[in-house]
Structure 1
Amino acid sequence: MSEDFLHRLSSLIPNADHIGQLPKLSNLFSPSLVLPSPTVVSSQVPSLFREPYIFSGYRPVYQKWHCYLLSLFQRHNESLNVWTHLLAAFVLLHRWWADTGTVGYTSTLASLPLWLFFVSSLMYLFLSAAAHLFQSHSEHAHYFLFFMDYVGVAVYQYGCSLGHYFYTSEPAWRDSCFGSRFLPGAAFLGWLSCAGCCFAKCKYRRPYPVGRKLCQLIPATLAYLLDISPVIHRLSTAAWMEDPALPFYALQIISFLLSAIFFSCPIPERYFPGQCDFLGQGHQIFHLFLSMCTLFQLEAFFYDYVRRRDTIVETFGENQLLCAAISFPTLFLCCILTALITMRHKQKHLKGQYKRDN
């Protein structure tokens, strides 16, 4: 089991020889083709776009959309925030293609939760990358894109819950009070997480008070504690030597907890102001660990899918699997509606602020 685990773990890491053969994309576009001026310091952008302890590397605001698209190949303080999730999405697609070919994957009801997890993972990765890439366009774009980012995170939380419930959970856990209320609770807390983040983003202005972080973290923490409960039960009761999925579940938890630390605290830039403007920001490290968490989840789910796919429909019933298929887009639509309502309220505020300033 240990050799197989190490082989699977090493397969997640790109070959260094291949990386060295990649062209330097930054050389394909001169700065004049990307943005009309080099990156600017924090005092040259509105306070909304400034990050604590990050003094330079900001892109000029109010430029054309294609400038921000092409800034994907320019060095600025959002570059790694974009590329960490884009590269993670490409690795996820590669692992999906490789693993589905290995296990003889077929599209059945038993594979539905796996599909939903995969879709939710790509959704949060691409929405997050888009938010960090285009948010400097304007105040309106900044709010709208990050509201969509929160939608992606909420949907991803629920996609994880479906995988944990149908592939990870044991009968003893499903018969507990957590198991009987798990899916409705996970859906509600996923929406609450989105609503809390949208509310905090809409209500508070820089410098952000502690209340903003609490509005984000409390619903997300509650959602995570519920979502991870079948994994914790499995890790504490199963025989690790006989279950190849458990090391990946353990790595998933470790990666997520590390990502939560760097999301919650502006470290290490707090201790090195101005030294982490391009490389080493806490948010970049948060992206990295969260991406690793997703990849470890996928590997664990594939192990459990292979082991349980012949009994999933019999264990849970077709109706419950179909309800999961319906609840997933329902949650997505609820989160989209919440984001749009919040955006409409914020748009009125921005218009009022523009009139006062002019």
Structure 2
Amino acid sequence: MGSDCKSCHQLPLNNYTSIPQYLRGNRWVLTGYRVNYSVTQCLFSIFQCSNEFFNIWTHLAGFFVFAVLFLSDVLVKLPYEGADWSDYAIVTATLSTFAFCMLCSTGFHVFNSHSRNCYSVWLAVDVSGVAIGALGCYLLGVYYGFYCYPFWRSVYAVMVGLMCLIVLAAQVYDALSQTHNTLRSVFLFCSLGAVSVIPTTHWICLENGLESSLVRLLLPKVFIMYFLLLLAVVIYLSKFPERFFPGKFDFFGHSHNLWHLMVVIALCYWHRVGLEIVHIMLHSKCNHVKLQ
């Protein structure tokens, strides 16, 4: 697959054996590396075939997807649901964090070939985007999951905000000090996701467990979100499929490409679930809680 792109090479591309150590993140991707590009060359390489091309465009396209979803939500869907200012604020904040995550990732993959220092700065930006994107996922879930329980909504909002801030600070420090470790980074973000079991379990208890039609409706959707993110992490760590076919997926279809796609799919799915919860909460007006 890698050899099919030779006609696209307008800027110099390098093999794995000739790139600096900081760019050696995947030894099964053998070709297509950009090294020591100027800022102008980095920007021009957005349109050039390289092993970063699909990484750039999946999340650049993801940014525009979330921008369109924002316009659709605030101009059509939320007015139709009779939403108030707080609903607009939460949906806007959530989609803004998703879009911010996409832009941070895009920036990293555009400029990581400039220099070692530029790589570190943009890596800090990238991991910041991931932490902010995770906060957006929590924001939507906590606000509407505990829509009828304002005290617990506040408790979990503060808890999640502090956790995201701690993870963000740790990741940015590692990136800027050039001590970033992929496994440690994945562990931190997975831990941040795993903690969601606490508010999820509490929400199930507050809603009277599986006897609640609301729980039976929404819990499978939460599990699907967990599955999508877990699958993304497994693909990212396993380096599938290039581990089994070195050099065959250098330009398109390697694990980081798939990781990017899975993240966009997961965030779009969570947004759709969020709108479903918005509809339920705005129309039920917490009547199910008053009857308990």
TM-score range, shorter chain: 0.7 to 0.9
Q: Distance in 2 between matches of 1:131 and 1:93?
A: 20
Q: Deviations over 1:136-185 (max 9, x none)?
A: 0111110000101111111111122111111123758975xxx6742222
Aligned to 1:115: 92
Alignment equivalent of 1:267, drawn from 224, 228, 240: 240
Superposed, 1:70-109 pairs within 5 Å as 70-100=44-74, 101-104=76-79, 108-109=85-86
Superposed, 1:267-286 pairs within 5 Å as 267-286=240-259
2:189 is the counterpart of 1:220: yes
2:112 is the counterpart of 1:135: yes
Aligned to 1:337: none
User: Cα offset for 1:228?
Assistant: 5.4
User: Cα offset for 1:60?
Assistant: 3.0
Gaps of 5+ in 1: 1-25, 316-358
Describe the shift of the 1:225–1:241 C-alpha distance in structure 2 as closer, same or farther (beyond 3 A): closer
Describe the shift of the 1:295–1:135 C-alpha distance in structure 2 as closer, same or farther (beyond 3 A): same
Output the TM-score relative to the length of structure 1: 0.66
User: Cα offset for 1:225?
Assistant: 1.9
User: Cα offset for 1:93?
Assistant: 2.2
Q: For the Cα contact (< 8 Å) 1:173–1:233, is it kept in 2?
A: no
CA RMSD between the two structures: 3.1
Superposed, 1:179-218 pairs within 5 Å as 181-201=155-175, 212-218=181-187
2:274 is the counterpart of 1:301: yes
Q: Deviations over 1:112-148 (max 9, x none)?
A: 2221111100000010011011110111110000101
Paired residue secondary structure (2:112): helix
Q: Distance in 1 between matches of 2:185 and 2:215?
A: 38
Paired residue secondary structure (2:195): helix
User: Cα offset for 1:45?
Assistant: 2.1
Q: For the Cα contact (< 8 Å) 1:252–1:292, is it kept in 2?
A: no
> Residue type matched to 2:263 in 1?
L
Q: Distance in 1 between matches of 2:35 and 2:105?
A: 20
Q: For the Cα contact (< 8 Å) 2:32–2:251, is it kept in 1?
A: yes
Describe the shift of the 1:241–1:57 C-alpha distance in structure 2 as closer, same or farther (beyond 3 A): same
Q: For the Cα contact (< 8 Å) 1:160–1:227, is it kept in 2?
A: no
Superposed, 1:23-38 pairs within 5 Å as 32=10, 35=11, 37=12
Describe the shift of the 1:233–1:92 C-alpha distance in structure 2 as closer, same or farther (beyond 3 A): farther
Q: Distance in 1 between matches of 2:192 and 2:151?
A: 17
Q: For the Cα contact (< 8 Å) 2:70–2:92, is it kept in 1?
A: no
User: Cα offset for 1:233?
Assistant: 6.2
Q: For the Cα contact (< 8 Å) 1:248–1:296, is it kept in 2?
A: no
Describe the shift of the 1:135–1:303 C-alpha distance in structure 2 as closer, same or farther (beyond 3 A): same
Q: Distance in 1 between matches of 2:201 and 2:113?
A: 40
Aligned to 2:135: 158
Describe the shift of the 1:271–1:252 C-alpha distance in structure 2 as closer, same or farther (beyond 3 A): same
Aligned to 1:55: 30
Q: For the Cα contact (< 8 Å) 1:40–1:60, is it kept in 2?
A: yes
Paired residue secondary structure (1:275): coil
Q: For the Cα contact (< 8 Å) 1:55–1:277, is it kept in 2?
A: yes
Output the TM-score relative to the length of structure 2: 0.80
Q: Distance in 1 between matches of 2:164 and 2:84?
A: 26
Q: For the Cα contact (< 8 Å) 2:147–2:281, is it kept in 1?
A: no
Q: For the Cα contact (< 8 Å) 2:120–2:178, is it kept in 1?
A: no
Q: Distance in 2 between matches of 1:67 and 1:262?
A: 30
Describe the shift of the 1:220–1:90 C-alpha distance in structure 2 as closer, same or farther (beyond 3 A): same
User: Cα offset for 1:55?
Assistant: 1.2
User: Cα offset for 1:229?
Assistant: 4.5
> Residue type matched to 1:77 in 2?
N
Gaps of 5+ in 2: none
Q: Distance in 2 between matches of 1:180 and 1:102?
A: 26
Q: For the Cα contact (< 8 Å) 1:169–1:230, is it kept in 2?
A: no
Aligned to 1:290: 263
Q: Distance in 1 between matches of 2:73 and 2:174?
A: 39
Q: Deviations over 1:207-233 (max 9, x none)?
A: x9xxx3442133222211223554566
Sequence identity, in percent? 21
Q: Distance in 2 between matches of 1:181 and 1:102?
A: 29
Q: Distance in 2 between matches of 1:181 and 1:241?
A: 21
